[in-house]
Amino acid sequence: MTLPISYDDIDAARERLRPFFDASPVRHYPQLDELVGYDIRVLVKHENHLPTGSFKVRNGTASVTALSPEQAAQGVIAATTGNHGLGLAWAGAARGVGVTICVPTGNNPEKNAGIRALGATLIEVGERYDETVAACRAIAEQEQRTIVHSTNHLPVIAGAGTMSDQYLTQAPELDALVIALGGGSQAVGALTVANARKASLAVYAVQSQGAPAQHNAWHDGEARAGVPAHTFAEGIATGSTYAMTYPALRTGLRDFVLASEAMIAQSVRDLWRITHNLPEGAGAAGLAGLRLLAPQLAGKTVGLVMCGGNLDAERAAHILLGGMPHFPSGTDEGQAIGGRGPSHRLPSSS
């Protein structure tokens, strides 16, 4: 298996993160066992309890704390539409590093407000995401800031790997992890941890049917770029494969499934009802994937990750009342600087 980082990288990131926030909890909910069936014991790791409500704060903090003194003095910059920007802004504030976040015009106002509240400079630029990315590059060059890509950045992947490392310490009985996959930092981190600490730990991935680029690339071996993504689960609205994660995903994942938008929305409702934690779409996708994978995981202890809880109020109300949410249009933030994989192929129009 080709891995972009080593377990030593995750270990170093864990030590850098230690002063900033505590471990997120792992909890067992017997009603989830009943819901999934097949004598599966389901555990949930609540990354939604971390600062900014998402695992992305691990990625941002690992990246900011890896800067040299010179880089820290110049600050960092990222193009993003969501949790990556929040995590980086929080980490910058915690370490006293200047952060600039570029978002498309009309970006989620709740996330914009959260980024600004953390002291980051927020620049709304570009009607389309590629225009935002171009502006981010130009500002980075002009101001000599370090670009922190949401996937293709080694400290980001190491930071995400601290989640699975911590999970396995908290629940050494884990047989499998089912991870919602966007850029792939969480899944590649999990594969790195399994390779070093528990070879029998199987890692599975799930993506939305409305954003199948990574899934389809995994199954047919053809990298993707720029495939339209139509899902309310913004955290996995990925239209590309990524150079630093795709090879490891291709060789390391045990299986990769697609869940419908309706299944993900129902998983939001189920997790709210059973855990009284409100996940965003990506945070609920693991449960949707587990229900598809359940026959092959019968009798196992399976870990899910509530990777984020930043569901906006209007969409949350709509979903909890039984509706299907609208999804944002445009491209995913994984297509920011350096986000494209080594080759590109668009799916046929059929």
Question: What is the Cα–Cα distance from 200 to 205, expressed in whole angstroms?
Answer: 16
Identify which of 132, 84, 85, 130 has the alpha carbon closest to the alpha carbon of residue 105: 132
For CATH 3.40.50.1100, list the domain ranges present in the chain.
7-55+154-335, 56-147
- Rounded to the nearest 10 degrees, what angle do helices 7-17 and 154-170 cross at? 80
pLDDT, one tens digit per residue, over 187-222 is 999 999 999 999 999 999 999 999 999 999 999 999
Question: What is the Cα–Cα distance from 328 to 103, expressed in whole angstroms?
Answer: 14
pLDDT for 326: 72
Residue 331 pLDDT > 60, yes or no?
no
The mean per-residue pLDDT over the stretch 159-175 comes to: 98
The mean per-residue pLDDT over the stretch 332-346 comes to: 34
pLDDT for 164: 98
Beta strands of the chain (E only): which ranges?
26-28, 41-45, 76-79, 99-103, 121-124, 146-147, 176-180, 202-208, 255-259, 301-305
* 243 touches 296 (CB < 8 A): no
Q: Which fold has domain 56-147?
A: Rossmann fold (3.40.50)
CATH (one of 3.90.1200.10, 3.40.630.10, 3.40.50.1100, 2.30.110.10) for 7-55+154-335 = 3.40.50.1100
pLDDT, one tens digit per residue, over 221-256 is 999 998 988 999 989 998 999 999 999 999 999 999
Long-range CB contacts (within 8 A, 24+) of 6-12: 6/192, 6/196, 7/192, 7/193, 7/195, 7/196, 7/197, 9/154, 9/157, 9/158, 9/161, 9/192, 10/158, 10/161, 10/162, 10/165, 10/189, 10/192, 10/193, 11/165, 12/158
The mean per-residue pLDDT over the stretch 309-326 comes to: 92
Question: What is the Cα–Cα distance from 143 to 123, expressed in whole angstroms?
Answer: 14
Lowest mean pLDDT among 28-32, 216-220, 338-342: 338-342
